[in-house]
Amino acid sequence: MIDIYKCDCCGREQDSGSWPGHIHWKKQNFTICRQCLKELAKENIPELREEWEWEEKNNNNYRKKHIQSDLRWQVWGRDNFTCQECGSRKCLTIDHIFPESKGGKTELNNLQTLCKKCNNKKGVK
């Protein structure tokens, strides 16, 4: 019998052969798919994130700027490690309130904590 798992980050369902398994992070257990694990690693593990090169966005040579680790932790701490849209504490990302692609600054007052689902829903507006 093949077990089916649902990713706690993106909601995608896949068989157990496609999953790295369960992870323990920030004193919580998560079931997470490979793609989300990769993204979570580049967001939250400094050693891996430093190696990651941001891909070009919108085919206009725009490159996403790296948000320094200390600034990320300031935002997460200020927001109590909670998505500011839905209240989730899972798969947290840093979001620019006013998009950097439209001139928004990477400063504490323009950053907020969003879970991956809410950040993906928001997109660039």
| Domains by residue range for the chain, with CATH | 1-52 (no CATH), 56-125 (1.10.30.50)
pLDDT single digits (tens) 73-86: 899 999 999 999 99
Model confidence at 11, in pLDDT bands (50, 70, 90)? confident
The pLDDT assigned to 8 comes to 73
- Least confident stretch, 33-37, 50-54, 77-81: 50-54
Average pLDDT of the residues in 108-118: 93
**Higher pLDDT, residue 63 or 88:** 88
How much is the pTM?
A: 0.52
pLDDT above 60 (res 19)? no
Distance CA 56, CA 72 (A): 21
Task: Print the SS3 string covering the chain.
Answer: CCCEEECCCCCCEEEHHHCCEEEEECCEEEEECHHHHHHHHHHHCHHHHCCCCCCEECCCCEECCCCCHHHHHHHHHHCCCCCCCCCCCCCEEEEECCCHHHCCCCCHHHEEEEEHHHHHHHCCC
